[in-house]
Amino acid sequence: MRWMREIRIHARAGQGAITTGEILASAAFWEGKWALAFPHFGAARMGAAMNAFVRLSDEPVRLRTQVYEPDVLLIVDPTLMYAYDVFSGLKSNGIVIVNQAPGEPVPYRSNGVRIYNVPADDIAEKAIGRRLGNTTMVGAYAAASGDFQFESLEAVIREHMADRNPDGNVAAARQGYDAIKAAM
């Protein structure tokens, strides 16, 4: 592999982590990259802690294991930072994006790791009428990583969420993107 980005998403069932992974993988694929997205969860019940994993590469992705040493963490539910070791294996030059207000504490510090807070649920509530910040989080990811253009993400959201308020979801993604760009 010349280039591979490994992403681990921490959420609770029902918060859109699987959709988040699918949108990230599809946006990268839209730009000609190879991608693989898949979930992992124990008890299949609403509110249970779960993970989703995404691998992006410039070559076919053959590795199908969980992501143990992520380049990027998306923490959809910030309470998980205090209940689980969500930072386990994070690479020293990694990116962490947390769904919480700017200035809220993140219980992790390491030289070289970039940590961004984005109030994804608050943004989503205004943009789509629901506190489901997954499209806001993918917009934030696009800004923080630079792995694909926002226009590719917009096209994927419009296609993937055609029956789920595509305009509102694109607006939420744009606000997540802009929030991270402003924080950089």
Torsion-angle region of 138 (φ positive above 0: left; ψ -120 to 50: alpha; else: beta): alpha
How many helices (H) and strands (E) the chain has is answered by 6, 6
pLDDT of the residue at 1: 59
pLDDT tens digit string along 53-98? 999 999 999 988 899 999 999 999 999 999 999 999 999 999 999 9
pLDDT of the residue at 46: 75
At residue 38, what is the residue type? Answer: F
Cα→Cα distances 21→54, 126, 138, 169, Å: 6, 23, 9, 15
Question: Please, what are the domains in the chain?
Answer: 4-183 (3.40.920.10)
pLDDT tens digit string along 133-176? 999 999 999 999 999 999 999 999 999 988 889 999 999 999 99
- Nearest CA to 116 out of 174, 81, 74 is that of 74
Q: Give CA–CA dist 3/148, Å, rounded.
A: 14
Paired with 38 in beta bridges are: 53
Do 100 and 41 touch, CB atoms closer than 8 A?
no
pLDDT of the residue at 42: 61
Q: Which DSSP symbol is given to 89? A: T
pTM for this model (two decimals)? 0.94
Length of the chain equals 184
| Other CB atoms within 10 A of residue 85 CB | 9
pLDDT tens digit string along 108-140? 988 899 999 999 999 999 999 999 999 999 999
